[in-house]
Amino acid sequence: MTTPQRVAENVTGDFYVTTACIDCGTCRMLAPDVYTETGKYSAVRHQPQTSDEVQRSVYALLACPTAAIRCNNPDLKATIQNAASDFPLHLEGGVYYNGFTSRHAYGASSYFIQHPDGNWMIDAPRWLPSLVKKYEALGGISTILLTHQDDIGDAERYAAHFGAKRIIHEYEKHAQPDAEHILQGREDIQWHPDFQILFTPGHTKGHVSLLYKNRFLFSGDHLAWDSERDTFKYYKEFCWYSFDVQKESIAKLTQHRFAWLLPGHGGQKLLDEADMHRRLTELVAIMKSNN
Ligand code: SF4
């Protein structure tokens, strides 16, 4: 194995990305002002200056699935160690971003919901004892929803530790054959008054999303946000099943209301609920006119 090299496009300074990068986008999602895409890798385009930029750069370093981000400032060693205990990062209400993405999930984001009737994980991070302790303090995990075959991470290990039920669609079952609950059919499922599982095929044949409290959409690899262009993003080039079906599934989302878009890959976004719906409706109209 070759030793990772510093990516040439990094600007000079403490933080840099190496060729161990798999271009998963996690760092660009967490610190878009600091990290950029070069085509093959991410790179540091702006060295963090403010305390917020330093904190987000450190979060990206910790969340990176391949340890491709380095910091050569010894004064930040304690900052980096302390930042690990901030994960999972709180978003709103009982919803958290897990960080610590898994190389096996290609750096996909995963999430945690603290709920009085049992906590959920949506897709899974890599196994980490410090995360386990945090989940234990938050009440454990009762349910792990796996949106599709790619973003599974260390779900099996978390399920075994917490006695959690893994949910996956039958078309994705090959990725987690001993999952405790297999979804069947093409209908949406109101699993609990607060949890609705939406059948959103396209990226893969049995892809599902989760709508939580009609406010948070956990969209897997179905739909994301492009923070540079400030609009929705979908990955036509990484569509493994049918992009026509994916477009139908995106159109179906206009039947629902949500304010948070929380994807597996790509940017997260919080908008006013009406604004999110208006922009989604516009996207669907554009996609239809491009047919
Ligand atoms: S998080 Fe790591 S692997 Fe992912 S794009 Fe950034 S540097 Fe590359």
Q: How far is the CA of 23 from the centre of ligand 1 (A)?
A: 5
- Quote the pLDDT of residue 1: 66
Query: For residue 243, what are its two tokens?
Result: 């992009």
| For ligand 1, atom 6: residue with the closest CA | 27
Give the residue carrying structure tokens 């960080």. 99
Nearest CA residue ID for atom 1, ligand 1 = 64
- Tracing tokens 């840099």 back to the chain, one arrives at 16
Site residues for ligand 1, CB cut-off 6 Å: 17, 21-27, 42, 60, 64-66, 68-69, 107
Per-residue pLDDT, 238: 87
Candidate of 15, 69, 101 to mutate for ligand 1, largest count of ligand atoms within 8 Å of Cβ: 69
**Three-class secondary structure of residue 83 per DSSP:** helix
Nearest to 180 by CA among 197, 163, 194, 192: 163
Instruction: State whether CATH 3.60.15.10 applies to domain 87-289.
Output: yes
Residue spans per domain, the chain = 15-84, 87-289
| Tens digit of pLDDT at every position of the chain (291 positions) | 689 999 999 999 999 999 999 999 999 999 999 999 999 999 999 999 999 999 999 999 999 999 999 999 999 999 999 999 999 999 999 999 999 999 999 999 999 999 999 999 999 999 999 999 999 999 999 999 999 999 999 999 999 999 999 999 999 999 999 999 999 999 999 999 999 999 999 999 999 999 999 999 999 999 999 988 999 999 888 899 999 999 999 999 999 999 999 999 999 999 999 999 999 999 999 988 887
Is residue 125 within 8 Å of residue 104, measured between CB atoms?
A: no
Computed from CA positions of residues 101, 250, 92, 57, in that sequence, does the dihedral angle turn out positive or negative? positive
Grouping H, G, I as helix, E, B as strand and the rest as coil, residue 80 is helix
- Class of the CATH domain delimited by 15-84: alpha beta
Q: Which residues of 172-199 are buried (b: 16+ CB within 10 A; e: fewer)?
A: bbebbeebeebbeeeebeebeebbbbbb
Strands 224-226 and 269-270: unpaired
DSSP 8-state symbol, 287:
H
